[in-house]
Amino acid sequence: MTEPQVGDIAVVLGDPKSETRRLIRGAMNGAGYRDVRECADMEALETNICTSVPPDLVITDTKMPGGDIFDLMSKMRRGEVGDNPFVPVIMLTWDANADVIRNAAACGVDDILAAPISPADLFGRIKTLVSKRKPFVVTSDYIGPDRRRDVARDGADGIPLIDVPNTLKTKAMGERVNVADLKAAVGEVMHEINDQRLVRHSYQINFLVGMILPAYQEGNITPEVRVHVTRLSEVSTEVEGRLAGSRFEHVGELCQTMSGVAQSIRGNWREPNRKDVELLKPLSQAILAGFNPDRDSTDMASEITSMVSKFSGKVNEEARRQIEDAVKE
């Protein structure tokens, strides 16, 4: 492809160290980037993301003072921060351990670079975001670039790929960005993402029920069960709140009932009402069928069974980690 036209690209650059910001900004200015907005902390970063004309690229360190950078990026991807959830994000880290990499990937950033970085590495990654940016996928707990190794996050095949607006590419190609057109495009894609998130949540509800129900039936009620029940309550409540304006409003009564049952079990998770426990399976199956009317119920039940068998160990391990982290706090 021809060299990108970078002069009008708006870049938000977050790093707590002024010297690092100076070096990166200098390199970018030297390459023709005229609009580079420096941020030394989370407040400044969020302010610059939330401007009336959204940035085209965010470059940020993982250790920004004043908040949780991973949480901010997740909120941006969900449309809770700023007007463009699809801004390309390159995250920089001086501490590339497994937890940092996992958290960065999970919050939906496009790329992760281990510092110190060279201008060639940075500009190479930006060119990739212009020419070969990955499409987005939506699962029960993720919105962001497609990561094939994470496709098993929900376990079902056929997770749709979503092409999202990319103003970085638009400007790099020498075209202008119309804010009204961008807003319309973002709204259209967010509507699709909401529908896909509801579908993924229907699988997540069934997966969690598949983890919870045997524990109550067998009397093996461990602390991990509480984590799964809490998650079931949260997902059910989120689904209930997302239904308005979606193509799944007809499933509303089922979701409302599941939300109430899950909250009831959560309130007394060691000795829940027997009738609530008995309702889990038929409710979850009806919800799965309601969100996936074109799929065979037997095939979906087989998928859920396979998911529980394959991922229960990993999910329980994550639950134990949450319990340990809560104790430390």
* Local confidence band at 3 (pLDDT 50, 70, 90 cut-offs): confident
**pLDDT exceeding 90 applies to what percent of the chain?**
87
The stretch 113-126 carries a mean pLDDT of 93
Give the C-alpha distances (Å, rounded to integers) separating 60 from 57, 93, 138, 144.
10, 9, 23, 17
Average pLDDT score over residue span 225-248: 94
User: Sheet holding 111-114: strands in order across?
Assistant: 35-39, 10-14, 57-61, 89-93, 111-114
Side-chain-side CA neighbours of 128 within 13 Å: the count stands at 14
Q: Give the mean pLDDT of 283-306.
A: 95
Q: Beta strand 89-93 with 111-114: parallel, antiparallel or unpaired? A: parallel
User: Which of 3.40.50.720, 2.30.30.180, 3.10.350.10, 3.40.50.2300 is the CATH number of 10-137?
Assistant: 3.40.50.2300
pLDDT at 148: 65
pLDDT digits (tens, 9 = 90+) for 142-195: 999 998 654 444 444 567 899 999 999 999 999 999 999 999 999 999 999 999
Phi, psi of 9 (to 5 degrees): -75, 125
Average pLDDT over the chain reads 92
CB 153 within 8 Å of CB 141: yes
Contact indicator for 143, 238 with CB cutoff of 8 Å: no
Instruction: Give the model's pLDDT for residue 71.
Output: 96
Q: How many residues does the chain have?
A: 329
Residues of each domain in the chain carrying CATH 3.40.50.2300: 10-137
Quote the pLDDT of residue 124. 95
